[in-house]
Structures are given as structure tokens and as C-alpha cells.
Chain A
């Protein structure tokens, strides 16, 4: 059993990169003047000659990453999720995904848990943007250990990847010795027969806590961690739908275009059952401490449990 740690996934990302540097000499890390915040600075310290600060010019950074990839490099182009996937969307589409280049687009500070910086920096659309691109793999890890595994999987995967990371520290729960990360495969963290809560990223640990609250009320909730939003684990979601009859999705993202819609698409095509999406309801965030914002926007343990309970009635 690995040690329990409380870390932001952005920090785990920086650590993972520096651990993989020797094994993957083709890895090059790009940042846009945010190395301290995105934690690519950890890699920079160890491999200064393979770190490129592109300055505050995200569109160019993605293009440079594409050019590096055509020459055999594995670029990890990093910025806040808002800028990496929003500002540079068309560069990700046309310079990376259309030629299917081996570029890893990494967006840290995703979701409203960015906190005090407020709405301009709280990206709630990145999953929707990135999963709409042909050939793009979208990963949203839930804790330190999963992030370490996800960065390795991204480096090993030949093709474009979007990695969604957070600013807020989260307690690890994927520490068991039999933990395995497989791209495109969801993980059932808790078995249950009454309802399934499907969560991603920071929301996974909260979904687990919510399931404990529900248990006290006699509700047996299954919890599935979808760390790979694209390609999504259709089989696991359909199995849960058939066995529990109802699905709740939880994500720190707009309810439009994210995990909830990805799961809904699978269900409506193959096994339509009622689904309830918990996320940010098509609105912008605002400034405030991360924990308060998550509570205010209903992305807290009590609200997930309440909504699930209501949904079952």
C-alpha cells in the first residue's frame, strides 16, 4: 500500500515528468510563463535543456509543440486549462489533432476550484472542447497516484492527449498495491446496486464520500471513476446502467459537453435509463476560496448525496 498523500494533481504532474525524464529522452516540456503554478518547474530544474518557456503566447506554444512532435519529440505543452484548450483551441485542432501529432496538451487549474482568480481563469469547458476533437484522448485523473500513472500513459500513447489537472490539493485514495491504470478503462471503486455515481477528477473522492452518506440512509451506491473521458469506457457504464438502473454523473465542468453528456450519449444509444448530471449549470464562476466555491456550486459531498437521494425517489 502506497503512502497516503494530499497533493494537487498539478504537482503530481510536475513530479511525474521529472521521474519519466530519463526513461523518455524524447520528452520536452513547454510552458507559457506559468512554470511555477503548473509545476513544470520541477522538470525544468532537472532537465533545463529540455524545458522551453514559450512566454505568454499559448497559440504559438501549441504550434511549436506540433513542430517538435514532427521531429520525434514528445512535447508536453502546459498552461492553465483555460488558455491551453480555449485560447489555443484552433491550434490544438489544426496543428495537433488534424495531423494526429504526438503532442500532450496539459491544462492545469481546471474547474472552479481555481478559486480566487475568478471566472476568467475557471475553465469549465475544456472537456467539451477537447473531446470534440477527432483522435484526441482526454484524461482527468482523480488523485496523486492516478496522475503519476496518467502522465506515464500519456507519454506511452502515440497521439494527441489532453490531460486535465487541478490546483486544489486532494487526498489520495488510489494507493492500493493492486491499483492499475489503463487508458480508456474506468475503475469501479465501490460496488452497489441501487444507483451508480460516475465521477471524474476531483469529484471522485467526493463521490466516494457521498456514497458513505447514502449508505447511512440505506442507499447502496456504486462509484465509478472515469479517468479517461475519451475514449469512454462504454462497457463499464452500460454494465452499471443494467445493474443499478440509474446513473448520476459528477464533474467540475459545465454540465454541457462534459462527462455527463459523454455518459448520456452512451446510454441513450444503447440502454436508455434516467441520468442526472451534477456539475456547473451553464454559468460562470466567481472569486472565492476553492472549498467555498465547490460547496456553492453543489460540488460537495452533501449535495451529491442529496441529489442522488432525490433522484432515486
Chain B
């Protein structure tokens, strides 16, 4: 990847992490762990991959993005704000009465949200419908959906995967944020969705496994996915839950909990340091 671009995307990812932490802190609830693990993916999607226009969020030929793991919307909201869909101030009102930013994505109220999600397993089906509509109308837009590894325990994910494979939806690209943790503990101990790669392969997907924090790898994977014909793609992104905030990293407890004042100060300090480092280089 071009070094200048990489720097920009790293900076964007860092700002997304800051925005997510800020949102959850002010809301006093929400899901920081999975927002932070997916921050590099959000950054790549919104600042490199997606053909979208924040000035015209409903443009019919735009690429679509569905956050199937809807609870990690603090990360998505931060990306959307950074992209210019709405004012960054909105992040501080997350989850509050009368706020635009709901606890889970609401396509009716928030510009840039292509599908209301939150109940796990449902976003992927909607993404399949969008991809099918694209095929029917011979449009060249692409549809992206981000899932969690815990989410793979939902049966609907596999109904939808069978559908995507059967209908050869090569305009559909799934990303699974494999941070290995869900509310009750490690996914391997709770219900064991592995082997994830073999499952998707069996459902007719082109499967790639990458380090979900390595922007070079993320770029390669998305570029390859665009060349795949006749089958849907899935990018299995191995990540660290809570990435970027030392005390949140790899801790299931930070799946759905807000930092207190002290913890918030530490998180902001760490992320701002990282940002300053990137901007100084």
C-alpha cells in the first residue's frame, strides 16, 4: 500500500477509535470492544473501498454497507462522522433521549446507515437482498457486510450464506471480525464457531484469512475480493477485541461496558498519543 495512504488510513482508524470511546463514555453504555477491533476495517471501508457520497447518502448506485454486528455501531458512527455524514458532536449524544444515534443502527434516522441492524444474524440477509437487487438491475455497486465471530452462532447467518452461494452473489463481500470473544467469554468456549473458513468454503464462498489490523493485508483482501467471479467473498479478519486501548485489549468484559471517568482519561490519553505519533511521523 502507498505509504501516504496507509498513514491517512491509520490516522482515520485512530480517530474512529477515539470517537467510539467518546460515544460509549458519554452514553455510559454501549459496545467498545468490537468497535475497536473493527476500527481498521471501518477506516479502510469508508476512506478507501466504498463508493459512497456523504453529501448524497441515498445515491442509488452507491456501494452498500451493512453492519450485521450492529452493536458495534459506536465505531461505525465515528467513521460516518469522520467521513462527513453528520457532525462529530452527535457522537457525544449517542444513546440519549432524542439523539439521532441510536443504541443500534437505525437507517430511518441516521444518514449513511443502509440497514437497521442490531438483532444478530439479520444484517447478512438484508445484504444478500441488496446484492440480489444489484444483480437483477444489472448495477455494478457492491455490498459489504461486517459480522462478528460470535454472530456466526446465529442460524440465520448460514441460511443467508447458503443463499449467497446459491445465487452466486459475487457483488457481496462479507468481513468477519474474529476477535475471539463474546459476552460470555471466548467464542471457542461458548459455542465454538470454528472452523470458520471451512464452513464458508462449504457454502460456496471465496475465503481469505488476514490480520484485521494490517492495512496492507486488508487492501489486498478487498482488491482480491473484487476479482472473484461467480461466488461471494468472505474476509476472515483476525483481530484483537478492544484494540488500541491497553486495558480493554482481549478482555471479554469490555464487550459491552462503558469506561468510567478514570478509564476514559486513560483511553483518550493512549489513543491521542498514538494519533500524535502518527501525525508526527
Q: Does B188 contact A (CB under 8 A)?
A: no
Q: Does A62 contact B (CB under 8 A)?
A: yes
State which residues 45-88 of A face B: CB under 8 Å: 49-50, 52, 54-55, 57, 59-60, 62-73, 75
Q: Which of B64, B108, B132 contacts A64 (CB 8 A)?
A: B132
Q: Mostly helix, strand, loop or mixed at chain B's interface? A: helix
Complex Cα–Cα for A72 and B66 (A): 17
Counting chain B CB atoms within 10 Å of each CB, which of A65, A71, A98 scores highest? Answer: A71
Q: Would you call A66 and B129 a contact (CB within 8 A)? A: yes
Q: Which of A49, A57, A64 contacts B126 (CB 8 A)?
A: A64
Q: Does B60 contact A (CB under 8 A)?
A: yes
Residues of the A chain whose Cβ atoms lie less than 8 Å from the Cβ of B132: 52, 64, 67-68
B148 → A minimal CB distance (Å):
17
Q: Which residue of B lies closest to A75 (CB)?
A: B129
Residue tally, chain B, CB below 8 Å to A: 35
Complex Cα–Cα for A305 and B107 (A): 50
Residues of the A chain whose Cβ atoms lie less than 8 Å from the Cβ of B124: 63
Q: Would you call B162 and A67 a contact (CB within 8 A)? A: no
B144 → A minimal CB distance (Å):
13
Q: Does A276 contact B (CB under 8 A)?
A: no
A211 → B minimal CB distance (Å):
45
Q: Does B80 contact A (CB under 8 A)?
A: no
In the A-B complex, the 7 residue pairs with the smallest Cβ-Cβ separation, listed nearest first, are: A67-B129, A63-B125, A71-B133, A60-B159, A67-B126, A57-B159, A64-B129
State which residues 159-217 of B face A: CB under 8 Å: 159-160, 162-163, 166-167
Q: Which residue of A lies closest to B160 (CB)?
A: A60
B20 → A minimal CB distance (Å):
23
With A72-B60, A99-B115: A67-B122 Cβ-Cβ less than 8 Å: no
Counting chain A CB atoms within 10 Å of each CB, which of B133, B134, B166 scores highest? Answer: B133
Residues of the B chain whose Cβ atoms lie less than 8 Å from the Cβ of A69: 129
Residues of the A chain whose Cβ atoms lie less than 8 Å from the Cβ of B125: 59-60, 62-64, 66-67, 91, 95
Q: Would you call B114 and A94 a contact (CB within 8 A)? A: no
Counting chain B CB atoms within 10 Å of each CB, which of A63, A67, A68, A69 scores highest? Answer: A67
Q: Does B78 contact A (CB under 8 A)?
A: no
Q: Would you call A99 and B108 a contact (CB within 8 A)? A: yes
Q: Which residue of B lies closest to A95 (CB)?
A: B122
A262 → B minimal CB distance (Å):
26
Q: Does A117 contact B (CB under 8 A)?
A: no
Residues of B whose CB lies within 8 Å of any CB of A are 60, 64, 66, 106-108, 114-116, 118-119, 121-134, 136-137, 155-156, 159-160, 162-163, 166-167
Q: Would you call A60 and B163 a contact (CB within 8 A)? A: yes
Q: Would you call B116 and A59 a contact (CB within 8 A)? A: no
Q: Does A212 contact B (CB under 8 A)?
A: no
Complex Cα–Cα for A28 and B115 (A): 19
B19 → A minimal CB distance (Å):
24
Residues of the A chain whose Cβ atoms lie less than 8 Å from the Cβ of B137: 71
Complex Cα–Cα for A62 and B126 (A): 8
Q: Which residue of A lies closest to B125 (CB)?
A: A63
Residues of the A chain whose Cβ atoms lie less than 8 Å from the Cβ of B127: 67
Q: Would you call B159 and A59 a contact (CB within 8 A)? A: yes
Q: Does A90 contact B (CB under 8 A)?
A: yes
Q: Would you call A63 and B129 a contact (CB within 8 A)? A: yes
Residues of the B chain whose Cβ atoms lie less than 8 Å from the Cβ of A52: 132, 167
With A57-B163, A70-B114: A63-B126 Cβ-Cβ less than 8 Å: yes
Counting chain B CB atoms within 10 Å of each CB, which of A49, A64, A73, A98 scores highest? Answer: A64
Residues of the B chain whose Cβ atoms lie less than 8 Å from the Cβ of A57: 159, 162-163
Q: Which residue of B lies closest to A88 (CB)?
A: B156
B69 → A minimal CB distance (Å):
14
Complex Cα–Cα for A184 and B47 (A): 47
Q: Which of A70, A94, A98 contacts B129 (CB 8 A)?
A: A70
Complex Cα–Cα for A264 and B268 (A): 57
Q: Which of B115, B121, B163 contacts A70 (CB 8 A)?
A: B115
Q: Would you call B115 and A66 a contact (CB within 8 A)? A: yes
With A60-B163, A62-B125: A67-B156 Cβ-Cβ less than 8 Å: no
Q: Does A152 contact B (CB under 8 A)?
A: no
Q: Does A303 contact B (CB under 8 A)?
A: no
Q: Would you call A70 and B134 a contact (CB within 8 A)? A: no
Q: Which residue of B lies closest to A28 (CB)?
A: B136
User: What are 25 sample pairs from A and B whose C-beta atoms fall under 8 A apart?
Assistant: A49-B136, A52-B132, A55-B166, A57-B163, A62-B125, A63-B160, A64-B160, A64-B163, A66-B125, A67-B125, A67-B127, A67-B128, A67-B131, A68-B129, A68-B133, A70-B107, A71-B129, A72-B60, A73-B133, A75-B129, A90-B122, A94-B116, A94-B122, A99-B107, A100-B108
